[in-house]
Amino acid sequence: MRRVAIAFLIAVFLVVLPAEVVAPYSFATQFRDLPNAAPSHAHLLGTDALGRDRLSRLLFGARVSLLLAPAAALLSVLLALGLAFLAALGGSWWERAILAAADLSLSLPWFFLLLAARALLPLNAAAATAAAVTFGLLGVLGWAEPARVMVAAIRQQLRSDFVLLAHASGCGRGRIALVHLAPHLAPVAAAQFLIATPAYLLAEANLGLLGLGIPEPMPSWGNLLRELESVSAVAANPWVLAPAAILILVVGCFHLAVSADKRVI
């Protein structure tokens, strides 16, 4: 199952990355005489209320989300990794301070803070800026959980024989961290990355549906799902469910990919 999930994810990435080539039209092209059109040869998933090709918007929107969510997850993991090394190697004061900050961060209603901070973007912010800020906030606010896991993993590694030997051989803290600990933390970091990526895809979808995701005309999974808000549109055009169905499949594949790695989490 894990292999199928990874193969599906690779296939989705291969299709959406060259969206300019694969998509039949630009995401902003409007066919003003064809609003809310049903699927046809020219528009395989029909068109939206503004006459924009739904398939093209899905391809471009999936690319935005599938590039920025992993980037945000990478930011979270790198922040967590840096802070975990500081906590584990910087002495007990640093460890207490960083773990207290992680506890505090986990106690705060992060989705609400994200909502508030995202809502406070300048009113005239460009779509690209809004996209970068949205995912940047996700990355910055999501450091605490991976940091806790990594601190625990580093503590475990610090008790191992090879680290004791490195200490005895006179290795400095920096060298122990980079040469001896970092390679052993790679699987933990990879698992945390795979956990954070679908979480951020879902968070962006939730923000988009609340009108606080990436603004139009740039498509993203969040704002593509806004079509679901119109109950009559869903009943009349069930193909508007396509972005939701693919998002659920992609998130499911990320979960399957990570479930086999649970031993390292």
Of 111 and 162, nearer to other proteins (C-beta) is: 111
- Nearer to other proteins (CB atom), residue 49 or residue 104: 104
Contacts of 198 by beta carbon, 8 Å cutoff, 6+ apart: 69, 250, 251, 254, 255
Residue 182 CB, shortest distance to other proteins, in Å, is: 30
Asked if 38 contacts 237 with a C-beta cutoff of 8 angstroms, the reply is: yes
- Residue 18 or 252: the one with the smaller Cβ distance to other proteins is 252
Which CB atom, from 29 or from 206, has the smaller least distance to other proteins?
206
CB atoms within 10 A of CB 161: 7
As measured in angstroms, the least distance from the Cβ of 145 to other proteins is: 12
Residue number, 51 or 136, with CB nearest to other proteins: 136
- Considering the complex, state which of residue 10 and residue 100 has its C-beta at the smaller distance from other proteins: 100
CB of 81 to other proteins, least distance (A): 22
Q: Which of 251, 245, 145 is nearest to 198 (CA)?
A: 251
Q: Is 68 exposed, middle or buried (0-12, 13-18, 19+ CB in 10 A)?
A: buried
CB of 60 to other proteins, least distance (A): 19
Residues binding other proteins (CB under 8 A):
103-104, 107-113, 115-125, 133, 198, 202, 205-206, 209-212, 225, 228-229, 231, 234, 244, 247-249, 251-252, 255
CB of 175 to other proteins, least distance (A): 35
Kindly list the distances between the CA atom of residue 78 and the CA atoms of 54, 70, 85, 148, 189, in Å, as whole numbers in the listed order: 36, 12, 11, 13, 8
